[in-house]
Structure 1
């Protein structure tokens, strides 16, 4: 097959490309230039898609002996990922930009261009297992539970998954680094990227305020309605947040307060005790079924609401474009805007992704 290997400049994508070459595919490497400031340099494990990353990707491609190109997707990345991120926070929701990036950039913009150029598949360094059985994609958790990225891939359509390759799905990260060293890849010990790639200093509140300005409002006790303080914008908060609330007086019982709800129209941030964070019911919309199989009636599953953690057994049911989820065990800090991914536990084979949907409301 003709395979386009997306090479971020990290160890995972370099080894994924190497395995595609070793499997006999006709491989071409491509690095996506996503930064609107191409002079930006990486700082340790913060940031990605930088000049340094592009150079690392090119050196890896040279060692593998494959053609290499840099494609400028900065404008589309800004529109699809950055602006969506800012808009969601302004609306009082909590987005996951990695989900958006995979959906809109790596497996929409990139895959569409690859198909137009005659490639058969796009290869990435994601940790997830993928197979196609009788033409139907099956996306599962990776062998390395700590690195599993099936959550951020669960919003891909069946057609996108049919043209995807995840060579690292059955591997563990230490083994991938060892393989990179054996292959002579200089990125073997390069730190993994953390946090949000377009906020390299990690200060999300400052970034959002630079885009949205200050939108003052009240911090309100959800139980009594008392105004506890002022804030500079609901975009500086997320449901479940405890630190940085700016409340001087302690709660009457001396226990910490948490953000319970955001009301962007009135500018109100409601806070209260931890017990009020518990969620037992989720309503989500914009459902996607990677395996082309919408739920057939109430279905026992495991739901995950964050990229790392936030899982609970549940019963889910598809109602039109919505998914209604009743949790067997409560989850805390579930926020509108997050993605709910449904898994079917499969012993020994890695949990199968049943579908995903965007959280609209909780109870």
Structure 2
């Protein structure tokens, strides 16, 4: 099979490409150039898509012995990921840019181009399993599992995806990389948001959305207890950096409960006010079999590496509604709600939706 290996410059994508080649596939490596101005992206090994990563990916391809190319996807990345990130915060939601990148770039734009060029599938270094049954499952390394950020993919995209690392732990991947002579064997994992060079998300948003002063309001009393320069600088569940002028009457910490862009208001209150028993999402994707006609007992995850809780899930054409068996705290609109079915062979992704409330 002729496959395209997306090589980010990290250890996971390098080993995934090597395994695909060793399995007998005709592999071509490609690195995605996502920055319009590479100097504006983070340097060093704590980001993603850094200025060093293309060189690391090319060296890995040379060691594996596969052709290698760089594809300029900067304009599409900016439109589908960066602009979307800014717009979501402006609307009072909390986006996941890595999830959006998987959906719009790696498994839409890249896959479309790959198929047009005659490739059969795209290989990535995600820690998730995709077996012959076509079901997307958690990685055996639950600490590194990335099935959550892949749950937005549809059936057609999954049918042309390969995740060779799902049956290995991260430690095993690093050992294998060293044995293969890959220089990235000890390269640290990527962190933070790749297109925010200094890690200052609020500063990044302020530069693009401008100053928009507003009130911070106590949920219980309705009193104004602080001010802010932009509601987009907050997220549900946030405790630090609230700039409150007065402590709560009971002396307990307060958290962001909601963000209202129309009135430019941030509402704060006690931790228990963050608990929710119902989660609703739009733009449903159901990949774990036929869409159910009635309620389904399942497990729900609402953030990457977040808690998983039992829930009764109902799926409709316009969304997914989950009644939780126990409350979840600080559920943020804009994140993904991912539905899993427990399975001895690895929890199965049934579907996902974007949280609206």
Partners of 2:74 and 2:218 lie apart in 1 by 42
3-state SS of the aligned residue for 1:194?
A: coil
Q: Choose 193-202 or 22-31, whichever is displaced more.
A: 193-202
Mean Cα displacement is larger for which, 72-81 or 311-320?
A: 311-320
| Displacement after TM superposition at 1:359 (Å) | 0.7
Partner residue, 1:87? 87
Q: Tell me the SS of whatever aligns to 1:51.
A: coil
Instruction: Kindly report which structure 2 residues correspond to 1:347-362, keeping only aligned pairs within 5 A, or say none.
Output: 347=344, 349-361=345-357
Query: Where in structure 2 are the equivalents of 1:1-363 lying within 5 Å?
Result: 1-40=1-40, 42-133=42-133, 137-347=134-344, 349-361=345-357
In structure 2, what is the Cα distance between the partners aligned to 1:188 and 1:216?
47
Distance in 2, matches of 1:19 and 1:13, equals: 10
- 1:256: how far off? 0.2
Instruction: Tell me how far apart the structure 2 counterparts of residues 247 and 111 of structure 1 sit (CA, whole Å).
Output: 47
Contact 1:302 1:313 in 2 (8 A): yes
CA RMSD of aligned residues (A): 1.1
Counterpart contact for 2:288–2:348, Cα < 8 Å: no
Q: Please list every run of 5 or more consecutive structure 1 residues that lacks an aligned counterpart in the other structure.
A: none
SS in 2 for 1:21: helix
How far apart are residue 112 of structure 1 and its match? Answer: 0.2
| Aligned equivalents of 1:43, 1:285: Cα separation in 2 | 36
What is the CA–CA distance in structure 2 between the aligned matches of 1:309 and 1:11, rounded to whole Å? 24
TM-score of the superposed pair, with normalisation by structure 2: 0.98
State how far apart, in whole Å, the 1-side matches of 2:98 and 2:289 are: 23
Say if 1:179 and 1:42 are closer, same or farther in 2 by CA, change over 3 A: farther
Cα distance in 2 for partners of 1:211, 1:284 equals 28
Aligned length, in residue pairs:
357
